[in-house]
Structure 1
């Protein structure tokens, strides 16, 4: 006979559950997540503004080059 278990099977590639995290480990993970969030926000804020471009989506990607595209687009 086969044994059945009440525990759900782990997904492929997922690490098997280990012992519970300590409070210090939880704080460290929270701090790391906060640093990642701040880094991504800073990276988004540093994006330079386009000079002389048109408003809207990327002109090359959305076919503006076929509709009187601006040479600076390229």
Structure 2
């Protein structure tokens, strides 16, 4: 059996600590990039202002159902 010893960041060698820091920076950069892309994405234009107006699989606006 192995010893049940928790390894903390202080116990890691310097190279492993640098690798963890670099990975954390890459994750933060990726998340920021994804957030920018999401903000730049165009919203639907001319679509319904409320929830999707579907009922029984048909589209409805003003009491009239229509399909595409």
TM-score (norm 1): 0.49
Which residue in the other structure is 1:68 paired with?
64
Which residue in the other structure is 1:45 paired with?
39
Q: 1:34, CA displacement in angstroms?
A: 0.7
TM-score (norm 2): 0.52
Which residue in the other structure is 2:49 paired with?
55
In structure 2, what is the Cα distance between the partners aligned to 1:57 and 1:35? 33
List alignment gaps of at least 5 residues for structure 2. Answer: 5-11
Change (3 A) 1:47 1:27: same
Q: 1:69, CA displacement in angstroms?
A: 5.3
In structure 2, what is the Cα distance between the partners aligned to 1:35 and 1:70? 45
List alignment gaps of at least 5 residues for structure 1. Answer: 8-19
Q: Provide the secondary structure at the position in 1 that maps to 2:50.
A: coil
Structural RMSD (CA): 3.2
In structure 2, what is the Cα distance between the partners aligned to 1:52 and 1:38? 29
Q: Provide the secondary structure at the position in 2 that maps to 1:39.
A: helix
Alignment: residue pair count: 55
